[in-house]
Amino acid sequence: MNGGHEPLRGYPPPEPPVDPELPAVAPQLRGLRRRAALTLEAAARAAGLSPAHLSRLETGQRQPSLPMLLALARVYGTTVSELLGETVAERDAVLRASDMEPTRAGGWTYWQAGASGRGMQALRVHVPHGSQGDIVRVHPGEEWLYVLKGRLRLRLGDTAQLLEPGDSAHFDSLTPHRIAAADHDGADLLFVHTLLQSPNAALCLGPTISGETP
């Protein structure tokens, strides 16, 4: 951590291989950026990515991780569901388990657990051991998580916590934070986050930095 004395510096996480199961992500990313009237450079800067990395995501040369999708959704004032081209008819209040299709991004697996197009997004997430546990996030909004299975390491600012099944956390996303599975079998959790429903290019969404695992 930099103790608040120096500006955070952003480094994109290692680039995962392209996943053929997500062919619609690239055009969606490009179309939503243009809808938000953002240049490639402005969108990449707001999401903590390099323009070259965002360009590779938009052309399908790289697969975005779940944290990248969350950051880009906030930049474009939309949801992860829309980025992935998913729709839920008429925003049904009930989402059946049989309709929850798993999506894999950056080693994580997640299931949409709520309707798309909402300011509050709910996900069921599996965090594998050793996957992006050293990535620190800083961005506007709130996050709530509830551990279903396994143990989760959560760092908030300068404090580190080990969460057991049944434990939960609710925090301001402007607090530098990172989560990682503590066990080799990974961790399952419910994850709820808020999105800023604004495409304003002036929004500063905090970068991604590397650090030590808690």
pLDDT-based confidence at residue 155 (cuts at 50, 70, 90) = very high
The whole-number average pLDDT for the span 38-60 is 90
* Cα→Cα distances 209→79, 123, 176, 196, Å: 23, 24, 10, 22
User: Residue 164: is its pLDDT beyond 90?
Assistant: yes
pLDDT at 182: 94
pLDDT-based confidence at residue 90 (cuts at 50, 70, 90) = low
The whole-number average pLDDT for the span 138-162 is 90
Close Cβ partners of 137 (under 8 Å, ≥ 6 residues apart):
67, 173, 176, 177, 178, 206, 208
pLDDT at 100: 78
- Higher-scoring residue by pLDDT: 132, 103: 103
User: Residue 10: is its pLDDT beyond 50?
Assistant: no
Local structure of residue 85 (DSSP, 8 states):
T
Measure the CA–CA gap between 55 and 52, rounded to whole angstroms: 5
pLDDT at 169: 95
Measure the CA–CA gap between 190 and 148, rounded to whole angstroms: 7
pLDDT-based confidence at residue 119 (cuts at 50, 70, 90) = low
Largest CA distance in the chain: 49
The whole-number average pLDDT for the span 150-155 is 94
pLDDT at 133: 55
